[in-house]
Amino acid sequence: MNTPATPSKNRALLTVFQQHWENARHIKNERLSFTNIYAIVSAGILSLLHSIRGEFVLEISLLDFLGCFSVIGLLTSLRLKAELENCLHSIEQTVARLGMEQFIPVVDARRALTRYPKFCWLFPAFLAIASAGFIGLLIHRVSSGAGGKQANWLMS
């Protein structure tokens, strides 16, 4: 069923391998860039929240933004995780077709443990925890009201 690989087929497979590898690298860089931006924005907003005590509507608005930003980050992270897994699966298939499994130790088609730990759920878990935390903080802040009393805009 498998026909012998010709030099032109091998070149085509190597080109496909290179494209998938560059795409995987791009996805990893995109994930790290988003995480850096997320950390900077979150730290800035939390710092701002600390300095604006008593501004109930502004606090709620900022916490609402952080909750939404975290949920968007979680969804983006899940999308990037799925894309990365698809890309790595394509790399595994290409490597297997080329018979080069011994040269790519990180990619393991048998799903056996490699010498490098896989942190595929690290970013989604971090963003899920952050989303839950910011949404919980928002709910707590809204339920506690402005300065111990309910805000007028919530009562109407």
Residue 148 scores a pLDDT above 70: no
15 vs 147: which has the higher pLDDT:
15
Residue 113 scores a pLDDT above 90: no
User: What pLDDT, on the 0 to 100 scale, is given for residue 66?
Assistant: 96
- Please tell me the distance from the alpha carbon of residue 29 to that of residue 48, in angstroms, as a whole number: 28
Q: How confident is the model at residue 93 (pLDDT cuts 50, 70, 90)?
A: confident
User: What pLDDT, on the 0 to 100 scale, is given for residue 4?
Assistant: 63
Q: Within a domain: residue 127? A: yes
Q: Within a domain: residue 155? A: no
Q: Which residues partner with 102 through β-bridges? A: none
Q: Within a domain: residue 69? A: yes
Instruction: Assess contact for 58 and 150: CB atoms under 8 A.
Output: no
CA atoms within 13 A on the CB side of 3: 5
* DSSP letters for 27-68: HHHHHHHHHHHHHHHHHHHHHHHHHTTT-HHHHHHHHHHHHH
pLDDT in tens, 56-69: 899 999 999 999 99
Residue 152 scores a pLDDT above 80: no
Q: Within a domain: residue 151? A: no
Q: How many domains does the chain contain in total?
A: 1
Cβ within 8 Å of residue 48, ≥6 positions away: 62
Q: Within a domain: residue 16? A: yes
Q: Within a domain: residue 37? A: yes
User: What pLDDT, on the 0 to 100 scale, is given for residue 42?
Assistant: 95
User: What pLDDT, on the 0 to 100 scale, is given for residue 154?
Assistant: 43
pLDDT in tens, 127-146: 999 999 999 999 999 998 76
Instruction: Assess contact for 58 and 52: CB atoms under 8 A.
Output: yes
Question: What range defines the domain where residue 53 resides?
Answer: 7-144
Q: Within a domain: residue 88? A: yes
Per-residue burial over 13-35, b if 16 or more Cβ lie within 10 Å, else e, is beebbeebbebbeebeeebeebb
Q: Within a domain: residue 150? A: no
Q: What tokens appear for 117 in the block?
A: 């730990």
